[in-house]
Amino acid sequence: MEQVVEAMDRGDEMVTRNLAVAAEHIENEARDPASVMDLYTDDIVLEVPGRGLYLDSKAAIEANYRRMFASLAEVELEPLDRFATETRVVDDMKVRFRLIGEGMVNAPVAIGARVELRLVHVFHMRGGRIAREIVHEEWRTIG
């Protein structure tokens, strides 16, 4: 029984760690893309299926973040839900912004549009770091 309790404690610790990593990623990816690269495993893959993006290196991801976030203005985040297991974190939010540049690859709206984006991150975790990030987006133009 003691081993089961110890295993549960380790699992709870990993869930707590995974939630902290996801929170740090969400909080800092726009502010300082370089600062979140250590949250990724060396074999990281980032996918944004709705926009056809597949990035498989920290350098490519950092460059994408720099272009993307430079193309957004009037950004507002509305967190909705975040939960985790030992191997996954799901983060659900709404993001409102104005698209002001071409750095959001394959954006389905015109530059200048005000957007509400339903954004769901699915982080696949390994050893307390992000091994795969899948970003699901639902775009809607707003006034």
Task: Place 3 in a pLDDT band, splitting at 50, 70 and 90.
Answer: very low
CATH of the domain at 90: 3.10.450.50
pTM (2 d.p.): 0.90
**pLDDT tens, residue by residue, 26-83:** 999 999 999 999 999 999 999 999 999 999 999 999 999 999 999 999 999 999 999 9
Kindly provide the residue ranges of all beta strands, DSSP E only, lying in 33-128, ordered along the sequence. 40-48, 53-55, 72-84, 88-99, 114-126
Amino acid identity, position 137 = E
Q: What is the pLDDT of residues 91-133, one digit of tens each?
A: 999 999 999 999 999 999 999 999 999 999 999 999 999 999 9
Total domains in the fold of the chain: 1
**Higher pLDDT pick, 85 / 2:** 85
* Cα–Cα distance for residue pair 40/49, rounded to 1 Å: 19
User: Domain range holding 70?
Assistant: 2-141
